[in-house]
Each structure stands twice: as C-alpha cells, then as structure tokens.
Amino acid sequence: MKASRTVPQAVLHRLPRYYRYLGDLLEDGVERISSSELGKRMNATASQIRQDFNYFGGFGHQGYGYNVAKLYREIADILGISNPKTAIILGMGRLGTAIVNRITFTKRGFEVIGVFDNDPALIGKKIGTFTVLDVAKLEDFCKEHKPVAAFLTLPREAAADTALKLEALGIRGFWNFSSGYIRLNDPTIPVENMHLGDSLMTLSCRMQEHDIKND
C-alpha cells in the first residue's frame, strides 16, 4: 500500500511516532488497541488518531479497535520500511559511530552497505559490523554497488562538496547531520537535516519563553 499524494505532511510526520509506538505494543504482546487507548498513551486525542489513520484507508473497526500487527505492517509500507533502500555513511568519527551503534537501519527503511572516512586512523577499522572504507574509493564503490541514500556525519566544511559529488554518483536521498548548507542540482531530492544546534536553540528559546533562568 502506498500513501496517496494528498496525505498532509503533518500526518506523514506523525507516522514514525505511531510506528515506533506500535512496535513497542507488539513487543509487549498487545494484539488490539482502541484509538482512545492509543491516544491516551501518545498524548493525542482519539479523534486525531482516527482522522490520521483514515488517510490510509482506516485499518480499524468501530468499537473493536485496531489490529496492532496489521496497522504496524501497513504503516511500515507507507514509511517504506518494508522496502529498504541501500545507504552509505560518510564520516565515521564519534557521531557516525554513535549512529551505527544506536540505530537498527533495517527497522528504519535502510540497509547500510558501506561506511567511509578519510582519516587513516579509522580506515580499515571495524565499527559494529562495518569496516571503514577509504573515501578515495567512494566513486568506484558507488558505481559498483549503486547506493541510493547517503548519511552525512562529516565536518561542516566538507558536507556541501561531498553532497554534490554524491548527487553526481547517483545518491537520491540525504540524511544530513552537518550544520553546513547542502544545495543539490536537483532540488527535489529529499534531504532530512538533523541540525543539533538548531534543536538546542529551540530549547533555549522555549525555556526563555517560560522565563527559566539560572538561580
């Protein structure tokens, strides 16, 4: 099943959270859940949950609740998780390593097939199940293995040029941790930015709104 183009972005952005939460329920052996119970656990109203799920054809039965496993599979399809996309990671310093250690990529829609760095101290090193490859071999690797996504955990200075190079090598989706600007020739290519500094400034701003100061 595929989400129709008319699904609002706001709904799509809530799906990862629904998906994670349903995964927890599955692990706990929960087979059915009502929209009101799901809402209560997720700080949403039952009606919002019903509205959101209606965009994907319902999935539920009035007065009977949702089948957790079925809902989980259908959201997985919409998120593209059942169809993992090949990815490479550029930058295997502490952040790249932390990501490899914390995330099960196949549960998030990706299969990482290569990790790269330019630091001789890292090249050849084993990190998790990966061996760090020399970034000098990036072009050959892409031609041979045709990854479609790239995760950038590079220093800021390197991100923009690397992204353009990767676009030329066929990368069609970017997960970017660098605070540098990525400008691609094709502006329709999805780029998801994880700007750590921006998130922290938003927290600062919200605390200031609440007038929270040091003693």
Return the residue of 5, 10, 27, 64 that touches a second copy, per CB under 8 A: 5
Return the residue of 6, 62, 101, 129 that touches a second copy, per CB under 8 A: 101
Q: For residue 168, state whether it binds a second copy (rule: CB under 8 A).
A: no
Q: For residue 86, state whether it binds a second copy (rule: CB under 8 A).
A: yes
Segment interacting with a second copy, rule: CB under 8 A, options 51-59, 65-73, 81-89, 114-122: 81-89
Return the residue of 60, 72, 74, 97 that touches a second copy, per CB under 8 A: 97
Return the residue of 1, 136, 168, 200 that touches a second copy, per CB under 8 A: 200
DSSP per-residue codes, the chain = ----TTS-HHHHHHHHHHHHHHHHHHHTT--EE-HHHHHHHHTS-HHHHHHHHHTTT--EETTTEEEHHHHHHHHHHHHTTTSPEEEEEE--SHHHHHHHHH--GGGTTEEEEEEEES-TTTTT-EETTEEEEEGGGHHHHHHHH---EEEE---HHHHHHHHHHHHHTT---EEE--SS----SSTTS-EEE--HHHHHHHHHHHHHHTT----
Which residues would be at the binding site for a second copy (CB under 8 A)? 2-3, 5, 12-13, 15-17, 19-20, 78-81, 83, 85-86, 93-95, 97-99, 101-103, 105, 107-110, 146, 148-149, 172-175, 179, 188-190, 192, 194-210, 212-215
